[in-house]
Chains A and B, each alone.
Chain A
Amino acid sequence: MKRLIATLAVGLVLNASPALASSATEAALAADPVAEKRLLGLSEELRCLVCQNQNIADSNAELAQDLRREIRGMIKDGKSDKEIIDFMVTRYGDFVLYRPPVQGNTLLLWGGPVALLILGIIALVRYQRRRAERVAAEDKPLSADEASRADALLKELDNK
């Protein structure tokens, strides 16, 4: 009885994860949690080309299911993560990668935000400096004339 409950519990947990288990072969492989974890990790890194803003772990598109099947097969064959990712890239290009590699045509993508940050800092520093200079330039000591006027005004205030 205990065993039955345990089996049912495992079954429930496995079925609760939407990316897993649909056809018979998938269910068989789902019995191997280590492989499934790798599958999930890999498929979260890969874009589904049919519904482009989903990865192939989330997507229920036909192609995503097929690709998960391929990845399962490759995991079973003992392929490394790199080999599996390379398999995808040779077929679908860098576009399948949610984390595109740093290379010539992605420099703007990777470097853009950093460049913007640096530009912003430079602009801020320059602005601050210029303002400080302007304030310093305007902050001249009072002339004798101005000083006597200021004294007079202050005295007037004191007398009130």
Chain B
Amino acid sequence: MNRYYWILGAFAALVALLAVGLNLNPRDVPSPLVGKPAPTFTLAQLAEPDKTLSPKDMQGKVWLFNVWASWCVSCRQEHPVLVEFSKKVDIPLIGLNYKEVRGDGGFDMGKMPADEEKKLAWQRANTWLAQHGNPYKLTVMDLDGRVGIDYGVYGVPETYVIDKAGVIRMKHTGPVTPEILAKKIMPLLAELNK
């Protein structure tokens, strides 16, 4: 009799283990970049294409870095949250437009000249922000996704919290929800701005 209890116990433990495993989010990959300096880049700005931005320009400020694109469906879900955030909170939100044209999938990139891609990307990004509101202090354009790779971007949208020293303190993959903003991002921002 004793032995059957033992088997039952082992089975229950296995069920518990699998239940926990199945409820984990496989997309929630811990980023090795948290705690490391934000990778550097120099990218053209959306509003003023002649000007560029680098992370070192943000030195001394706590800022949010949000990866978006007009083709990204989840960004639409997240966008109102960011717009609301930008109205209420005085923390610079910088946008990284990720592969605006190439990521869309609807274009034959083999046939598109670089200047045409550029023109199209700026036009699409501007139109999108005009339509949905612009929460960004400014947006930089990562046409080929190289900066995205340096930041370990694999699913747009993604959001980074970067501190005054330029160190990444948090990464959130997927849309920012009001809950995540209130429970995780805002407390961290408050702490970093102390």
CA of A63 to CA of B155 in the docked complex: distance in angstroms? Answer: 9
- Out of A49, A62, A63, A93, name the residue touching B32 (CB < 8 Å): A93
CA of A91 to CA of B154 in the docked complex: distance in angstroms? Answer: 10
Interface band, chain A: 10 to 19
Residues of A within 8 A of B145 (CB): 62, 66
Whether A70 and B110, one on each chain, are in contact in the complex, defined by CB atoms closer than 8 angstroms, is no
Residues of B within 8 A of A94 (CB): 32
Segment at the A interface, from B23-31, B44-52, B56-64, B81-89: B23-31
Whether A49 and B150, one on each chain, are in contact in the complex, defined by CB atoms closer than 8 angstroms, is no
Whether B99 and A91, one on each chain, are in contact in the complex, defined by CB atoms closer than 8 angstroms, is no
Query: What is the distance, in angstroms, from A23's C-beta to the closest C-beta of chain B?
Result: 5
Whether A93 and B152, one on each chain, are in contact in the complex, defined by CB atoms closer than 8 angstroms, is yes
Which of B30, B109, B154, B155 lies at the interface centre, i.e. has the most chain A CB atoms within 10 A of its CB?
Answer: B154
Whether A62 and B105, one on each chain, are in contact in the complex, defined by CB atoms closer than 8 angstroms, is yes
- Pairs of residues from A and B, 8 with the lowest C-beta to C-beta distance, nearest first: A49-B154, A93-B32, A91-B152, A95-B29, A92-B152, A23-B110, A66-B145, A63-B154
Residues of B within 8 A of A (CB): 26, 29-33, 99, 102-103, 105, 109-110, 144-146, 149-152, 154-155
Instruction: Name 20 extra pairs, CB < 8 A, besides A62-B99, A66-B145, A92-B31.
Output: A23-B109, A49-B29, A49-B155, A50-B154, A50-B155, A62-B102, A62-B103, A62-B145, A66-B149, A90-B32, A90-B33, A91-B32, A91-B152, A92-B152, A92-B154, A93-B29, A93-B31, A93-B32, A94-B32, A95-B29
